[in-house]
Structure 1
Amino acid sequence: MDERAFYVLAYDIADDRRRLKIARLMESLGERVQESVFEAYLTPRELERLLKRVERVLVVEEDSLRIYRLCGGCKGTIRTLGRARLTPPPGAIIV
């Protein structure tokens, strides 16, 4: 079984219709943490499937998607302020 990695995905989509489609794709696999920023725990296969779906919508001359994979050590250095909270791994129980 493929191991999940923690990703931060951020997009800048020029067109409202494309932006909505991309947002729905991201929401299907991750958690929205800002208007156009998502956090997700993905396997390599899930990431590739997501990227193929995004490529069908995204216009490379107008839009952008950034994908940051964070290692366990890097993830441990994330700092948040205000209401922000780090997305828990799948299956984690928050009390």
Structure 2
Amino acid sequence: MSDERAFYVLAYDISDDRRRLKIARLMESLGERVQESVFEAYLTPRELDRLLRRVERLLESQEDSVRVYRLCGACRGMIRTLGRAQLTPPPGVIIV
């Protein structure tokens, strides 16, 4: 399994406040919140698997949903933002 990081967009719709808070904290530990329930993250396959296993233990599968989108470099380059939105930079990159 590669240790190379890939860019992901993670989004959730969690019906219960307590579960939503726990899942948000998990995602905040590895990614950047860009909307109320949307995160961007650069993750290795191992980090993603671990995150999803932890999220799955918290989910109520009949009530909640989580979506994970992996974006290739070319797709990431075509993301458009409006207003004050900024794309999350890769790890190790500092924007001044």
TM-score band, normalised by shorter chain:
over 0.9
RMSD of aligned alpha carbons: 0.7
Counterpart-to-counterpart distance in 1, 2:12 and 2:18: 14
Encode CA deviations 1:9-60: one digit per residue, 9 max, x unaligned.
0000000000000000000000000000000000000000000100110111
Aligned position for 1:78 = 79
Distance apart, 1:2 and its partner CA:
0.8
Query: What is the aligned partner in structure 1 of residue 59 from structure 2?
Result: 58
Count of matched residue pairs: 95
Aligned AA for 1:10?
A
Q: In the TM superposition, what is the alpha-carbon distance from 1:70 to its structure 2 partner?
A: 0.1
What stretches of structure 1 of length at least 5 have no aligned partner? none
Paired-residue identity, %: 84
Counterpart secondary structure, 2:62: coil
TM-score for the superposition, normalised by structure 2:
0.97
Structure 1 runs of 4+ off > 4 angstroms?
A: none
Where does the alignment leave 5 or more consecutive residues of structure 2 unmatched? none
Q: TM-score, normalised by structure 1?
A: 0.98
Q: Which residue of 1 aligns with 2:6?
A: 5
